[in-house]
């Protein structure tokens, strides 16, 4: 041993092992650091400067991942104060709110992050759709995304039952009631999911295991795959302006190192959102009503808010049409999108083209007028069951109104094709914008305009509900 | 290697093995699915709901009355002519519990306002069929209801009524 260099103490040795060496000062070093790091190696070492623009991705996918992480942490510690049995589950939540340090805050964080995740995942899907980022070679990642969105809905729905209050009990009763309309297997499947003829302690256990283990494991697995595919597909799609896409000039791009250009933005974005969610969770309580009572349904009994669009359709269609056929068609359409709409030319351009932008506005505007008009008409004027009393309600209240609302859509599509010379991708954009707006409007009507007996009310005239 | 150009004529050893793997792999998958589904089948405990309930003697229920038996999840309906029906209180639309409205003499569902008369027949949609029934039997003057076996029906028929 050389006497000039003192032997490092055990503390020094530990510190040297656990803290990074010098931070890199040149690009080479920065790129090495990305490759060598477990977390950072999700990223490439360099990225095109354009994909860093906030206004392209809005950071939505990353925010979804942040929310999943918050949910995992808060969810795991909620388990320390929760028993999945009826009625103990409800008493545990009361105790959590009143007797556990920060219990209410943890519950609020979990609740609001879960609800925000649905909104963010849907916005992310819309961003990918309107920029055409799902086109080849990114079809598979779109499908992974659809699977994750359905699982996120499943996680929210199974979590909804866990507090075992009136809200939970009846939302799950109504929500699973929809499943029983699936032809042939509906009744069997509902019994299987509920673990019996109606929502009970068995249902709570079934939902609990789905909510805390099965669904999150699958989501985290798919998330890893999703991120890996982003890189395998050559990184993000490159944003382009309208002019660049119209003139066909290849945009000039510079490649920047991931450290610090991307990592810095990600950290900032994550911190800001965590702060926002924390403040929100401190100020706004997650709802909790009285203990579940199977003998008394509250009036109105509403599904969770993200299913209110579906529940609104149930008021207008036979359940087989409103809850199975129409949503089934919508999901099939979403799955088929990247195989129908494959033009590689204007990937990265918001709303495809100048005409595309006009058509989206037109579709949204028409839908904003047509959807409420149709709801009002169906509520006060149309009465298919009464006009065709001898017909089975599947036809009179299902297929006939379905035909009646499909017809204007087909005519609109034809009009757009002829008068605007819209091509396939613009027509897909037009119809999708129309239908999506309609769904949002139905959801809003369901949440804010439906009162006792599911009658229509203005939100400021809403009578109190009974529980 | 002239067989290469005329496939499908006879099964090569490789094809045979592939097929065997596929068949047995498929069987194993089916078995696993079967076990999984069987494992998840509802577990019925001997409880109040799902077994046969004795709700009391016949004369406890006057003609033209509707009585909610909450622990059994049903109504005992006694018609004007003395006949009995046990009506499951679960709405056939989406499963809410339907209260009996004494003033309007109707079952009115709070969830999406389906209405049913005292026999359980739909008076107002969206409910697609009458309220389900539980089998009633009258043993030694006691009304017995089998809550394990709900009966779905499309219409009300007099044969559904049980007389003491
Ligand atoms: C838990 C839910 C999800 C998470 C955590 C997630 C995460 C991400 C992240 C971090 C990115 C990188 C770019 C960005 O932030 O926009 C991304 C890209 C992408 N996502 Fe998702 N995502 C989720 C759900 C979805 C859904 C619902 C879809 C659509 C059905 C989808 C389809 C895609 C596609 C196609 C890309 C590539 C976009 C491009 O190259 O421009 N993802 N996702
Ligand atoms: S559940 Fe009774 S009307 Fe919908």
Residues A290 and A360 in one domain: no
Last residue of a domain, one of A306, A324, A342: A324
Helix (H) or strand (E) holding B142: strand B142-146
Residues A281 and A212 in one domain: yes
Residues of chain A positioned with their CB less than 8 A from the CB of B134: none
Q: Is residue A301 part of a domain?
A: no
Paired with B77 in beta bridges are B66, B85
Q: Is residue A169 part of a domain?
A: yes
User: Is the CB of A301 less than 8 angstroms away from the CB of B96?
Assistant: yes
Picking from A305, A294, A306, the residue whose alpha carbon sits closest to that of residue A164 is A294
SS3 A357: helix
Q: Is residue A18 part of a domain?
A: no
In 3-state terms chain B splits into helix, strand, coil percentages (rounded to 5) of 25, 30, 45
Chain centroid to Cα A216, Å, comes to 15
Residues of chain B positioned with their CB less than 8 A from the CB of A385: 125
User: What is chain B's mean pLDDT, rounded?
Assistant: 85
Residues A281 and A373 in one domain: no
Q: In this predicted structure, what is the pLDDT of residue A464?
A: 74
Q: Is residue A71 part of a domain?
A: yes
Q: In this predicted structure, what is the pLDDT of residue B2?
A: 46
Chain centroid to Cα A421, Å, comes to 33
In the predicted model, what is the mean pLDDT of residues B93-101? 90
Residues A53 and A176 in one domain: yes
Q: Which two tokens stand for residue B48?
A: 């109040």
A366, pLDDT greater than 50: yes
> Which of A85, A209, A297, A310 should one mutate to test binding to chain B, selecting the residue with the greatest count of B CBs within 10 A?
A297
Confidence tier at A461 by pLDDT (50, 70, 90): confident
The HSE-up count of residue B56 (CA atoms within 13 Å, CB side) is: 9
CA gap A323, A309 in Å, rounded: 10
Collect all residues with Cβ–Cβ distance below 8 Å to A153 and sequence separation of at least 6: A118, A306
How far A144 CA lies from chain B's nearest CA (Å)?
23
Q: In this predicted structure, what is the pLDDT of residue A451?
A: 86
Contact between residue A318 and residue A114 where contact means Cβ atoms under 8 Å apart: no
Q: Is residue A26 part of a domain?
A: no
CA gap B122, B104 in Å, rounded: 14
Helix (H) or strand (E) holding B60: none
> Which of A177, A384, A390, A450 should one mutate to test binding to chain B, selecting the residue with the greatest count of B CBs within 10 A?
A177
Query: Does residue B94 line the site of ligand 2, with CB under 6 A?
Result: yes
**Helix A400-420 × helix A354-380 angle, to 10°:** 150
SS3 A282: helix
Q: Which two tokens stand for residue A23?
A: 């931070």
Angle in degrees, CA A454, A458, A464, rounded to 5: 60
Paired with A291 in beta bridges are A165
Percentage of chain A beyond pLDDT 90 is: 55
Picking from A309, A303, A315, the residue whose alpha carbon sits closest to that of residue A327 is A309
In the predicted model, what is the mean pLDDT of residues A118-144? 95
Residues A232 and A356 in one domain: no
A465, pLDDT greater than 80: no
How far B18 CA lies from chain A's nearest CA (Å)?
28
Q: In this predicted structure, what is the pLDDT of residue B7?
A: 54
| Burial (0-12, 13-18, 19+ Cβ within 10 Å), A422 | buried
**Number of domains within chain A:** 2
Q: Is residue A67 part of a domain?
A: yes
A378, pLDDT greater than 50: yes
Helix (H) or strand (E) holding B137: strand B136-139
Confidence tier at B128 by pLDDT (50, 70, 90): confident
B113, pLDDT greater than 50: yes
Paired with A299 in beta bridges are A466
Residues A270 and A399 in one domain: no
For the stretch A254-278, pLDDT in tens is 899 888 889 999 999 999 999 999 9
User: Is the CB of A455 less than 8 angstroms away from the CB of B113?
Assistant: yes
Q: What is the CATH number of the domain that holds A206?
A: 1.20.810.10
Query: Does residue B111 line the site of ligand 2, with CB under 6 A?
Result: yes
Q: Is residue A20 part of a domain?
A: no
Last residue of a domain, one of A324, A341, A370: A324
In the predicted model, what is the mean pLDDT of residues A270-291? 95
Q: In this predicted structure, what is the pLDDT of residue B49?
A: 65
For the residues of A192-248, what is the DSSP string, one character each? HHHTSSSS-HHHHHHHHHIIIIIHHHHHHHHHHHHHHHHHHTTSSPPP--HHHHHHT
| A196 reaches B (C-beta below 8 A) | yes
Residues A249 and A128 in one domain: yes
B10, pLDDT greater than 80: no
Residues of chain A positioned with their CB less than 8 A from the CB of B68: 295
Instruction: Pick from B87, B88, B92, B94 the residue to mutate for probing ligand 2's pocket: most ligand atoms within 8 Å of its CB.
Output: B94
- Which range marks the domain in which residue A131 is found? 42-296+319-324
User: What is chain A's mean pLDDT, rounded?
Assistant: 90
Query: Does residue B92 line the site of ligand 2, with CB under 6 A?
Result: no
Q: Which two tokens stand for residue A41?
A: 């190696």
DSSP B5: G
Residues A217 and A128 in one domain: yes
Residues A438 and A290 in one domain: no
Q: In this predicted structure, what is the pLDDT of residue B46?
A: 43
Out of A411-420, B108-117, B144-153, the most confident range is A411-420
Residues A135 and A284 in one domain: yes
Collect all residues with Cβ–Cβ distance below 8 Å to A80 and sequence separation of at least 6: none
CA gap B74, B87 in Å, rounded: 5
Lowest mean pLDDT of A41-50, A258-267, A394-403, name the range: A394-403
User: Is the CB of A296 less than 8 angstroms away from the CB of B112?
Assistant: no
CA gap A409, A3 in Å, rounded: 87
Residues A234 and A378 in one domain: no
Q: Is residue A11 part of a domain?
A: no
**Helix A215-232 × helix A139-161 angle, to 10°:** 160
Residues A177 and A292 in one domain: yes
DSSP B109: -
Contact between residue B97 and residue B90 where contact means Cβ atoms under 8 Å apart: yes
Last residue of a domain, one of A324, A341, A368: A324
Closest atom of ligand 1 relative to the A141 alpha carbon: 35
């Amino acid at each position: 041993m050389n006497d000039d260099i003192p032997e490092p103490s055990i503390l020094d040795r530990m510190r040297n092992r656990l803290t990074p060496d010098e931070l890199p000062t040149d690009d080479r070093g920065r790129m090495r650091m990305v490759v060598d790091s477990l977390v950072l190696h999700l990223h490439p070492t360099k990225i095109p400067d354009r994909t860093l623009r906030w206004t392209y991705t809005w950071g939505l996918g990353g925010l979804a991942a942040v929310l999943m992480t918050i949910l995992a942490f808060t969810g795991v510690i909620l388990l320390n104060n929760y028993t999945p049995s009826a009625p103990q589950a409800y008493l545990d939540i009361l105790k959590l709110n009143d007797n556990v340090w920060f219990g209410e805050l943890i519950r609020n964080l979990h609740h609001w992050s879960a609800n925000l995740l649905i909104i963010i995942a849907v916005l992310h899907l819309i961003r990918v759709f309107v920029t055409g980022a799902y086109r080849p070679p990114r079809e598979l990642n779109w499908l992974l995304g659809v699977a994750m969105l359905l699982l996120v809905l499943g996680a929210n729905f199974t979590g909804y039952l866990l507090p075992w209050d009136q809200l939970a009990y009846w939302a799950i009763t109504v929500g699973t009631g929809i499943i029983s309309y699936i032809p042939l297997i509906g009744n069997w499947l509902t019994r299987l999911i509920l673990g019996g003829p109606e929502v009970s302690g068995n249902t709570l256990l079934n939902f609990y295991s789905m909510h805390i283990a099965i669904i999150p494991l699958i989501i985290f697995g798919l998330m890893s795959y999703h991120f890996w595919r982003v890189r395998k597909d050559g990184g993000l799609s490159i944003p382009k302006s309208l002019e660049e896409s119209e003139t066909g000039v290849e945009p000039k791009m510079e490649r920047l190192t991931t450290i610090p250009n991307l990592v810095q933005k990600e950290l900032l974005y994550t911190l800001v959102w965590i702060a926002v969610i924390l403040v929100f969770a401190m100020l706004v309580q997650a709802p909790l009503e009285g203990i579940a009572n199977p003998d008394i349904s509250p009036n109105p009994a509403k599904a969770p808010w993200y299913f209110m669009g579906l529940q609104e359709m149930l008021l207008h269609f036979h359940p087989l049409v409103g809850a199975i056929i129409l949503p089934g068609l919508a999901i099939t359409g979403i799955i088929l999108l990247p195989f129908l709409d494959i033009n590689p030319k204007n990937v990265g351009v918001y709303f495809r083209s100048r005409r595309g932008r006009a058509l989206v506005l037109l579709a949204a505007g028409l839908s904003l007028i047509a959807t409420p008009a149709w709801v009002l008409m169906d509520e006060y004027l149309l009465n298919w069951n009464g006009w065709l009393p001898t017909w089975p309600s599947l036809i009179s209240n299902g297929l006939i109104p379905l035909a009646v609302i499909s017809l204007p859509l087909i005519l609109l599509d034809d009009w757009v094709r002829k008068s605007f010379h819209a091509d396939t991708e613009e027509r897909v954009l037009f119809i999708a914008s129309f239908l999506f707006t309609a769904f949002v409007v139905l959801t809003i009507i369901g949440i804010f305009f439906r009162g006792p007996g599911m009658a229509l009310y203005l939100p400021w005239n809403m009578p109190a509900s009974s529980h | 290697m002239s067989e290469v150009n005329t496939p499908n004529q006879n099964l090569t050893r490789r094809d045979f093995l592939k097929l065997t793997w596929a068949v047995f792999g498929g069987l194993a998958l089916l078995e696993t699915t079967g076990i999984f589904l069987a494992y998840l089948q509802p577990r019925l405990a001997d409880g109040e709901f799902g077994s046969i309930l004795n709700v009391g003697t016949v004369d406890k229920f006057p003609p033209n009355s509707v009585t909610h038996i909450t622990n059994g999840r049903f109504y005992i309906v006694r018609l004007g002519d003395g006949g009995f029906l046990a009506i499951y209180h679960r709405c056939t639309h989406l499963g809410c519990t339907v209260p009996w409205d004494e003033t309007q003499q109707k079952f009115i569902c709070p969830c999406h306002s389906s209405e049913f008369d005292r026999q359980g027949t739909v008076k107002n949609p969206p409910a697609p069929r009458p309220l389900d029934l539980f089998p009633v039997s009258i043993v030694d003057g006691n009304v017995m209801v089998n809550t394990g076996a709900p009966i779905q029906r499309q219409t009300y028929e007099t044969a559904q009524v049980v007389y003491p």
